[in-house]
A and B are shown apart, each in its own frame.
Chain A
Amino acid sequence: MQADSLSFIFLNTVLANNFVLAMFLGLCPFLGVSGKLSMAVPMGIATLFVMLVSSISAYAVNIILVALDIEFLRLIAYIAIIASAVQLVEMTLKKYSPTLFRSLGIFLPLITTNCAILGLALFQTFYQYNFAQSVTYAFGAGTGFILAITLMAGLREKLVLSKLPSVTQGAALSLMLGGLLSLAFMGFAGLGSVH
């Protein structure tokens, strides 16, 4: 396998292969918590946080799994570490930064069932990324998530003020917006392949 450079991985996951808009990972918070910017941004940051922690732990656990030749337990092991990683982030925040905890706290349990996190762990294993690549991948995915959810929240805040047919005021509108954003992000595809 050809080694992908770190900058390529980062840009690719933020823009071209954005986790939310191109790979459909983490849609629940993307549709659910994107009503207000003041909620969306902390949610994004919390997700980035958990992504970094669980990416590192997944990397470590995968080494053990491969060494013991018990790869069939990978899924169960990953979901267990993600749950623990979320717990860990929650406890650390509570201890060292109560203010941050107060603003992020309610989102943390939700993140456990965010498929972006498990997807990240599975994909970094699938691509056989090394440690630096995995961390960059997680950082890129988290940044991409923040970008997507912030854009979405900004758009929805504006739309609250505009007149819309009553049928469209609901999830349908969010999905249509998501579709347009996704279409826009498709313009980034091919980024990095023009050498």
Chain B
Amino acid sequence: MSRIRDNSISWETFNEGLWKENPVFVMLLGMCPVLAVTNSAMNALAMGIATAFVLVASSTLVSLLSKYIPKQVRIATYIIIIATFVTIVDYVIQAISLDLYNALGAFIQLIVVNCMILGRAESYASKYRPLKSIVNALGMSAGFTIALLSLGVVREILGAGSLFGIQLFGDNFQPWVVMVLPPGGFLVLGAWLLLFDWVNQRQQKKAEKQEAHHAS
């Protein structure tokens, strides 16, 4: 495979996770952290980066080792690899900031059971070359992080009247507290999905109309 061709594939491979198969909005994978840690934009971003690291690192390793891993034990191997990188992230976050570590709580360690990561290892990294797997993992991570941020930003603005900890409104602002509480997570994600479905349906209808137009 030539270098140029590899790159041209890469945009598609990247875009897959970013938009077409966005892990949160389209595939509904890894929902636990999506709802649990998105009560502020900062937490959402940190979670996104942590997940991205684990996803990219484990995809790389799985892709490199896939030739040597017998089929019967592959899931066990993938899980061990993922758990290793999660433990590493766990320690690194503790070293960077204890406040952040306390805010994310057990959800850093729960990255292990994020179905998105195991799913990528099984369906992508074990089949493609390291470079392609990395690009794909990066795309998936970007899609995941954007989804987390889109929830975190909305919930923080509505529920606390701030963004990344900076107050946006005057003292008279009455925060919509329920948005940073558990129900807010469900409701905001539900609203985003509604928006997504609505846009998709409109586009489909438009395309159908155009097709009908062309046909006539």
Contacts and interface: CB of A to CB of B under 8 A. Distances in A.
A172 interface: yes
A144 interface: no
B193 A175 contact: yes
A166 interface: yes
Given A79-B112, A118-B112, A167-B197, A176 B187 contact: yes
A146 to B, nearest CB: 18
Contact of A83 (B79, B91, B182, B186): B79
B112 to A, nearest CB: 6
Contacts of B198: 167
B35 interface: yes
B186 A118 contact: no
Dominant secondary structure at the B interface: helix
A167 B201 contact: yes
Chain B interface: which size bin? 35 or more
A31 B28 contact: yes
A72 to B, nearest CB: 7
A75 B31 contact: no
Question: B86, B115, B182, B183: which has the most chain A beta carbons within 10 Å?
Answer: B182
A25 B181 contact: no
A113 B113 contact: yes
B178 interface: yes
Given A24-B185, A27-B32, A31-B28, A183 B178 contact: yes
B203 interface: no
Interface in B150-197: 178, 181-187, 189-191, 193-194, 197
Given A31-B31, A75-B86, A179-B184, 10 more contacts: A24-B182, A73-B87, A75-B90, A83-B76, A118-B113, A167-B194, A170-B197, A175-B186, A176-B186, A182-B183
14 contacts: A23-B182, A24-B33, A27-B31, A75-B112, A79-B79, A114-B113, A118-B112, A126-B106, A171-B28, A172-B191, A176-B186, A179-B184, A183-B178, A186-B183
Interface of A: 21-28, 31-32, 72-73, 75-76, 79-80, 83, 113-115, 117-119, 122-123, 126, 166-168, 170-176, 178-180, 182-183, 186
Closest 9 CB pairs between A and B?
A: A179-B186, A175-B190, A172-B193, A179-B187, A24-B36, A27-B31, A183-B183, A182-B183, A176-B190
